[in-house]
Structure 1
Amino acid sequence: MNCWKTVNFHKRYGIERLFFMSSLTMISCFLFLYVPITSYFAKNELSDDYFFLLLLSILIIYPLHKLLHLLPLISMQDKIKKHWEIVFNIFPVFHIQVKEPIGKGLFLLTLMTPFIIISGLLLCLCFQYTHYVHYCLILFAYHTGICFPDFLRMKNLWKTPKTCYVEENEDGFEILINNIH
């Protein structure tokens, strides 16, 4: 296999820029969705009960997000490298890295799984618990911000060959193609 493209996330974006853009995505998502969704549920009065549960959910979403990345890779457990890192001296970051190349489709599925499952669940909860729609929107926006680096990875894979493979490394990933015809 030959390297078709190398994407170095640390060099291209940097941790500070990713954090800023994720935060901006989170705030924009909340501002964009709050007015239309709360006006849709205008007949219901919003409640601020269970604020502690909101804070607990904020703490739980990130580890749940990372665990859901592992879901499509469950059959490859022995080929996955996992480790923790502290960023900005306060944020624990859990890194998952597959030690061997995987297909583009599986890599994209791995990137999309947390967004689809958690966001779908939160949007369903908006309709189930209409008095807490603002809590669900806060969590949805927060999770969308967490997903921002995944969206960037998907964007970088958008125009790659369908049959390519993706190999992760410490700084990003390499897109590999098979030259055998």
Structure 2
Amino acid sequence: MNCWKSVNTLKDFDSSRLMLISLGITLCIFIISYLIFSLYYGDISSQGIGFTLTVAAIVTLYPVHTMLHYVPLWFAGIKTDVRLYKVKKKGKQKVTMKVQFNKPVAKNLYITALLFPSFLITIGALLGALTWPEYMHYFLLITSINAGLSVYDWVYVKQLIKAPKYSVVERNKNGVDILVKQPS
């Protein structure tokens, strides 16, 4: 196999730029969706669930989003390893979760895996907002934060769409490698 392209979001795109785009999308989606739902459900008063539960939902969104990437791979029979790492940067220690798979994955399956949490969490949160309109602001907050997290996924998808039809994707420590078969 030959490497057609290596995609490293931190090297190819400025991380602060991606973070700014992610925050902008999060804010825009929350404002627009809240306005639309408020117009539709104007007569319903909002209910609170408390600060602690709100923060817990927001904090657990990232690990859930990350784990949902690998559900399509699990259904396809690809073995994945989930590991927690302690990373020290600038004197601060934080825990990072990495999920890795050992063999190359077909391009279309990897695109499905990248987009799966975007669509599943968004559809679930929007259905929750429609079902329980008194808590719609919480569901719309989850939808918008998930959209912000999905910016990084869409960057990878954009690169993968340009790849040859029968290419495969292999993860490495810096990103992904898009591989194509050697011509015979």
TM-score, scaled relative to structure 2: 0.86
Which residues of structure 1 form unaligned runs of 5+?
none
CA deviation vs aligned residue, 1:45-91 (integer Å, no higher than 9, x gap)? 122344432222111111111111121222322x5464435578476
Which residues of structure 2 form unaligned runs of 5+?
none
Question: Residue type matched to 2:116 in 1?
Answer: T
SS of residue matched to 1:76 = coil
Equivalent residues, number? 180
Q: 1:149 to 1:93 in 2, by over 3 A?
A: farther
Separation of aligned partners in 2, 1:95 and 1:19: 20
Contact 1:81 1:98 in 2 (8 A): no
Determine the structure 2 residue equivalent to 1:166.
169
Determine the structure 1 residue equivalent to 2:144.
141
- The alignment yields a C-alpha RMSD, in angstroms, of 2.2
Identity %: 27
Determine the structure 2 residue equivalent to 1:153.
156
| Corresponding residue to 1:76 among 75, 78, 81 | 78
Contact 2:34 2:140 in 1 (8 A): yes
Separation of aligned partners in 2, 1:33 and 1:68: 23
Contact 1:81 1:99 in 2 (8 A): no
Is 1:179 paired with 2:150?
Answer: no
SS of residue matched to 2:162 = coil
TM-score, scaled relative to structure 1: 0.87
